[in-house]
């Protein structure tokens, strides 16, 4: 289902033209309008889901095979050294468009793309407690 005021619904369904690199019955892959690097692609489902938590099972199962194809094509087309596959959920995680999408970002050894975090550490047995808490919710 499409969401009336969602720009990615309109793009994914071809109501707004885009530089499309991939399309199947569930997804459209397009060039990001403000790319982190040349060849930066975003993959959008045609049905609206705000984020990974709303993504239906069928799309969830099909998204990575599509991302894998796109990543291989981006690598060959740009000649990049690597790619980041990135997917933001929620404002705190950097999401700015609230229609699920996956970024495929070409990378070079020395480029201007910044993706990172300061590493932390678990104390005592708190990593097993955290693992247990997560397992219980699956």
In this chain, which stretch among 29-37, 44-52, 68-76, 118-126 interacts with ligand 5GP, using CB under 6 A? 29-37
Pair 52, 73: CB distance under 8 Å: no
Cα distances from 129 to residues 10, 75, 119, 121, 137, in angstroms, run 44, 40, 19, 14, 13
Q: Is the dihedral of CA 6, 10, 16, 17 positive or negative?
A: positive
Which one of ligand 5GP, Zn ion, none is in contact with 97 (Cβ closer than 5 to 8 A by kind)? ligand 5GP
Over the window 82 to 101, marking each residue x when it contacts Zn ion by CB under 5 A and - when it does not, the resulting string is -----------------x--
Nearest distance in Å: CB 43, Zn ion? 13
Over the window 71 to 90, marking each residue x when it contacts ligand 5GP by CB under 6 A and - when it does not, the resulting string is -----------------x--
Kindly state whether residue 40 participates in binding Zn ion, applying the rule CB under 5 A. no
Written as six digits, the tokens of 18 are 């885009």
Kindly state whether residue 18 participates in binding ligand 5GP, applying the rule CB under 6 A. yes
Q: Report the C-alpha dihedral over residues 42, 47, 51, 53, rounded to 10 degrees.
A: -140
What are the residue numbers of the active site?
101
């Amino acid at each position: 289902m499409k969401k009336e005021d969602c720009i990615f619904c309109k793009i994914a369904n071809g109501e707004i033209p885009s530089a499309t690199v991939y399309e199947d019955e569930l997804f459209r892959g397009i060039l990001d309008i403000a790319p982190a690097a040349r060849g930066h692609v975003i993959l959008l489902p045609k049905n609206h889901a705000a984020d990974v938590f709303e993504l239906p099972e069928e799309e969830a199962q099909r998204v990575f095979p599509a991302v894998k194809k796109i990543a291989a094509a981006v690598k060959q087309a740009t000649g990049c050294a690597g790619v980041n596959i990135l997917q933001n959920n929620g404002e705190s995680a950097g999401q700015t468009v609230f229609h699920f999408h996956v970024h495929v970002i070409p990378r070079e050894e020395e480029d201007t793309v910044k993706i990172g975090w300061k590493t932390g550490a678990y104390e005592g047995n708190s990593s097993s407690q955290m693992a247990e808490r997560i397992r219980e919710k699956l």
